[in-house]
A and B are shown apart, each in its own frame.
Chain A
Amino acid sequence: MSHEDTPGLAHVTHVFGRALSRRSLLRGTAAALGTGAVASLIAACGGSTAGSPTSTTASSGGTTGGGATPTAGTGGGTTASPAASGTQPATTGSGGTPRKGGNLIVAFNADPTTFDPHVTTALLAAQVIALTNDNLIDRDYDGSFKPAMAEKWDVSADGKTYTFTLKKGITFHSGKAFTSADVKYTFTRWASADLKSPTAYTIQPLDTMDTPDDQTITFKLKDVYNIFLDQLAGSYAVVLNQAAVDKAGKDYGVNTVDGTGPYKFVSWTRNQSIKFSRFDAFNWNSPVFQNPGPAYVDTLEIQIVPEDNTRVAQFQSGNIQVLHDVPAAQVQPLSSTPGVKIIKYDQLQTTYLGMNTTKPPVDDVNVRMAINYALNRDEIVTGANFGLGISANTMLAPATPYYWQGSQQIAPTFDLNKAKQILDQAGWKAGSDGMRSKNGTALTLPLWIINDSTTTLQAQIIQQQLAKAGINVQTKQYEQTAWFAAASKGDQVGYIIGVFYDNADVLYFYFYSKQQPAPNRFLYSNADVDKWLLDTRANPDKTAVTQDYQNIQKQLIQDAPAAPFIHSGGTLGVTNTVNGVKVHPSRWLYRMTDLWLSQ
């Protein structure tokens, strides 16, 4: 499937270019489906061998380790994550006391573009930057914020001033002591007009910064900005060492990295591997992680293996210990391969059929609502996504903060008769072939999709399902970058896209009227929704914000600009020698400080 994603932006993560994004990771997964016959060659390696199944289904934050006793696999369905279920992250045995030492090898499907947090929006870049650099605060597995380089923070009563007290004793890898001046420099650089950072707009409300002493920094905002902490916890907000940046110039993040994170950058051979070593002085880890001190492994190596089947073969051979994303077609065979575990986890992700509310026939809310009722989401999850995910009928995944529980009472679920009834009442009459028209105009939905295997399968299933309701779907495929170029002008009618997010602010991003023509590709405009969305960002009263989000979610269900159909689950492969694995719903393996090797 195709996705937009943005871990560092508070809300949505998006990157494009196959090599760059989580979207492309999932596309890579999908690519394996297209080569099913060949894939089975590789799958047969492990699939034919008897062994005790080690597939696990973990809630986001589920921890597995050697000797783990996680919830049994259920063929791909994921359990509710802690925020939704109210349960604590499933903590399982880790095979004993964490052991220091060893070289951990992780496979990525593409090269991270850079270690400079201010010049990229790439997800893989965010993942490696999290190893070498620290934030003032970290996002916990349940979505809350915990101190990282900051010891504590206060927010003024008017919500416009954030004062951080910084931990003492933090040093950069180069040995330089960390002070509030480094924070000020980092944010000044990020916001500077000269750098033209693609993410500078996310801290646009930042007005001034004061550093009364080495351990204190105060951010003063122009306006209340409820997602300011989200920005501080994002990968773009990691703290840099000015001396290192100035010295390296344009090569900062290419061959020079100086951070305060748990791993020191050692070397980077483009398209081949990145090597890190443990930063022994690191003892300021955030309470988000179990290990307060230095990482357990001596060295960490990220190998770049672009081809899905090759990555899987390397993983089965034990040459790599952590498989970034397991191709969907190979989840089952790998689950019965001895010596490896497949961990399925929830993530904040939604894939939806978007509809341009200004273009016929989906300018008619009845058509949009009928489409919502005509989609058999379970069939799509099983048929296109190999059961890896849960069917979705709301834009926000249930684990998202501010998710409105009442959604489930009113959001459309599969009911073909109701879909037909809505269309009948709206004047869309079925012809002899079952396809509908109104005043001589056929009910045809042009559907723009990205040409990866999963999205193609999703579109095929949707085409069949909507045909049963009398809607003719005409699919048009695009290469990924071309899709975003095409769908940025407002000419699209129907389209499929997915989005990863951190929080409910994704709704502002996608449904605020001034976000047209992209990312508000629905060209959706509702004055009330706009008012509520603005309030979610600017009102310091949490109760009011909760009510705003409830109103927004309710209105979006009624206006139906989107037909969400899946919250995709993530899959991670680890060998049995890897312990302390804990997958974050939006940060993947995060800082990798809890990982340790039993051999």
Chain B
Amino acid sequence: MTQYIVRRLLLLPIILLGVSVLVFMVIHLVPGNPAQVIAGPDAPPETVKAIELQLGLDDPLPVQYWRYLTRVLHGDLGRSLTSKRPVIADIMDALPKTIELTLAAAVITPIIAIPLGVAAAARRGKPSDSGLMLVSMLGITAPVFAIALGLMWVFGYKLRVFPISGYGGPLWTLSGLRSITLPALTLAIGSVAAMARLTRSAMLDVLSQDYVRTARAKGLREWRVLMGHGLKNALLPVITVLGLQVAYLLSGAVVTETVFAWPGVGRLAVYAIQARDFPLVQGTVLVIALLFVVVNLAVDLVYAVIDPRIHYG
């Protein structure tokens, strides 16, 4: 196990290097000159040229990349081209907020989804099963911004139980908890729906196994059959999907953060791309890539904990 973790961690720099090369190339291939953005679209060419020189944008791409890489290896992600703030400061401001949001949604997801999936499996073919599956299909297909605005309208505007938007503070404060509820729910709804459906089908699969029939024949109560024999064995694919969902939640956070004015990394990345703020784009994407890799590793490790048959060596 330890060997496996070390191997995965050793791969991390290579993955990040690949990501940085890819992002660097893509952002430089997209039309739009950051010097022109800074100078304004109608600035004289000599002004634009002067800014290009200042930023080193006139150098060949490999030279620019090497300069960037050297800086990053020294722990310096550079300064934003537009705001002149250190990129690391911007990311460190935004990152905890995105992590809070993603974690909250990741916690909400199984709490709602698994009971729903189990209940639907237990009532297979009944109206409540069909109803749950229909609602979950809506949850999967509805656009995030529509869900966000719907929740905002009902709970923020009409009932006024939660703030409409904004970051209210860290998760462990009351105002923080209130402010994260709607964005976290919005972010979680798609995952809840997907996971509920998966739990249902995994449960149905397990419940059709011989050992479940045996358990029932032995006179075990139905809830013990469901929870002890059914859910326990159905959980592995669910956990797999939960891991993938965390990655999905991170990407879904871009829209959610924008709608709820949540000052996270997703919003920062969108702004950076639109402004062709190269250092900020590279910094935010690197951090998001790092999160993905770490989350995936964590999920792989959780497998082994849940299913003793899985060994990493």
Instruction: Answer whether residue A484 sits at the interface, using C-beta atoms and an 8 A cutoff.
Output: yes
Instruction: Answer whether residue B41 sits at the interface, using C-beta atoms and an 8 A cutoff.
Output: yes
Pairwise interchain contact B261-A305, C-beta atoms closer than 8 A: yes
Chain A residues, Cβ within 8 Å of B82: 17, 20, 113-114, 120, 122
Pairwise interchain contact A271-B263, C-beta atoms closer than 8 A: yes
Residue from B30, B37, B83 in contact with A16 in the complex, judged by beta carbons closer than 8 Å = B37
Which B residues, 78 to 99, have Cβ-Cβ distances below 8 Å to chain A?
79, 82-85, 90, 93-94
Pairwise interchain contact A307-B261, C-beta atoms closer than 8 A: yes
Which partner residue on chain A sits nearest B255 by CB separation? A307
| Complex CA distance for A319 and B179, rounded to whole angstroms | 14
Pairwise interchain contact B275-A198, C-beta atoms closer than 8 A: no
Residue from B40, B146, B258, B263 in contact with A38 in the complex, judged by beta carbons closer than 8 Å = B146
Chain B residues, Cβ within 8 Å of A518: 41-42
| Complex CA distance for A251 and B89, rounded to whole angstroms | 12
Pairwise interchain contact A121-B39, C-beta atoms closer than 8 A: yes
Pairwise interchain contact A272-B83, C-beta atoms closer than 8 A: no
Which B residues, 24 to 42, have Cβ-Cβ distances below 8 Å to chain A?
30-33, 36-42
Instruction: Answer whether residue A519 sits at the interface, using C-beta atoms and an 8 A cutoff.
Output: yes
| Complex CA distance for A42 and B83, rounded to whole angstroms | 33
Known: A196-B54, A201-B47, A317-B157. A17 touches B37 (CB 8 A): yes
Instruction: Answer whether residue B274 sits at the interface, using C-beta atoms and an 8 A cutoff.
Output: yes
Count contacts on B: residues with CB < 8 A to the other chain.
52
Pairwise interchain contact B260-A45, C-beta atoms closer than 8 A: no
| Complex CA distance for A215 and B275, rounded to whole angstroms | 41
| Complex CA distance for A12 and B41, rounded to whole angstroms | 11
Chain A residues, Cβ within 8 Å of B267: 271, 306
Chain B residues, Cβ within 8 Å of A316: 157
Query: In whole Å, how far is A485's beta carbon from the nearest beta carbon of chain B?
Result: 4
Chain B residues, Cβ within 8 Å of A303: 166, 261
| Complex CA distance for A482 and B36, rounded to whole angstroms | 11
Known: A38-B146, A306-B261. A270 touches B42 (CB 8 A): no
Query: In whole Å, how far is B59's beta carbon from the nearest beta carbon of chain A?
Result: 16
Pairwise interchain contact A116-B38, C-beta atoms closer than 8 A: no
Which A residues, 305 to 343, have Cβ-Cβ distances below 8 Å to chain B?
305-307, 309-310, 313-314, 316-317, 319
Instruction: Answer whether residue B75 sits at the interface, using C-beta atoms and an 8 A cutoff.
Output: no
Chain A residues, Cβ within 8 Å of B43: 121, 198-199, 201
Chain A residues, Cβ within 8 Å of B31: 481-482, 485-486
Pairwise interchain contact B276-A310, C-beta atoms closer than 8 A: no
Which B residues, 246 to 282, have Cβ-Cβ distances below 8 Å to chain A?
258-261, 263, 267-268, 271, 274-276
Which A residues, 178 to 211, have Cβ-Cβ distances below 8 Å to chain B?
196, 198-201
Which B residues, 150 to 206, have Cβ-Cβ distances below 8 Å to chain A?
150, 152-153, 156-158, 160, 163-167
Choose among B31, B90, B156, B164 the residue with the greatest number of A CB atoms under 10 Å from its CB.
B164
Chain B residues, Cβ within 8 Å of A14: 40-42
Chain A residues, Cβ within 8 Å of B44: 201
Chain B residues, Cβ within 8 Å of A19: 271, 274-275
Chain B residues, Cβ within 8 Å of A486: 31
Interface readout for A297-309 with B: 1 if CB under 8 Å, 0 if not? 0000001111101
Known: A196-B50, A485-B31. A16 touches B259 (CB 8 A): no
| Complex CA distance for A252 and B54, rounded to whole angstroms | 18
Which partner residue on chain A sits nearest B268 by CB separation? A271
Chain A residues, Cβ within 8 Å of B260: 307, 310
Instruction: Answer whether residue A253 sits at the interface, using C-beta atoms and an 8 A cutoff.
Output: yes
Instruction: Answer whether residue B145 sits at the interface, using C-beta atoms and an 8 A cutoff.
Output: yes
Which A residues, 150 to 201, have Cβ-Cβ distances below 8 Å to chain B?
196, 198-201
Instruction: Answer whether residue A509 sits at the interface, using C-beta atoms and an 8 A cutoff.
Output: yes
Instruction: Answer whether residue A85 sits at the interface, using C-beta atoms and an 8 A cutoff.
Output: no
Query: In whole Å, how far is B51's beta carbon from the nearest beta carbon of chain A?
Result: 6
Chain B residues, Cβ within 8 Å of A479: 32, 274
Which partner residue on chain B sits nearest A11 by CB separation? B42
Pairwise interchain contact B268-A307, C-beta atoms closer than 8 A: no
Pairwise interchain contact A41-B153, C-beta atoms closer than 8 A: yes
Residue from A113, A119, A310 in contact with B164 in the complex, judged by beta carbons closer than 8 Å = A310
Which partner residue on chain B sits nearest A37 by CB separation? B146
Pairwise interchain contact B157-A313, C-beta atoms closer than 8 A: yes
Instruction: Answer whether residue A15 sits at the interface, using C-beta atoms and an 8 A cutoff.
Output: yes
Chain A residues, Cβ within 8 Å of B37: 16-17, 481
Which partner residue on chain B sits nearest A480 by CB separation? B274
Query: In whole Å, how far is B70's beta carbon from the nearest beta carbon of chain A?
Result: 20
Pairwise interchain contact A319-B164, C-beta atoms closer than 8 A: yes
Instruction: Known A-B contacts: A199-B43, A310-B259, A313-B153. Give 19 more (CB < 8 A).
Output: A4-B40, A4-B42, A9-B40, A17-B37, A38-B145, A41-B149, A45-B153, A121-B38, A121-B43, A272-B167, A306-B267, A316-B157, A317-B156, A319-B164, A481-B275, A481-B276, A485-B31, A485-B33, A488-B36
**14 A-B contact pairs sorted by A residue (CB < 8 Å):** A17-B276, A114-B82, A120-B38, A196-B50, A269-B93, A271-B268, A271-B271, A272-B261, A306-B258, A310-B152, A314-B165, A484-B41, A518-B41, A518-B42
Residues of chain B having any CB pair with chain A under 8 Å: 30-33, 36-44, 46-47, 50-51, 54, 79, 82-85, 90, 93-94, 145-146, 149-150, 152-153, 156-158, 160, 163-167, 258-261, 263, 267-268, 271, 274-276
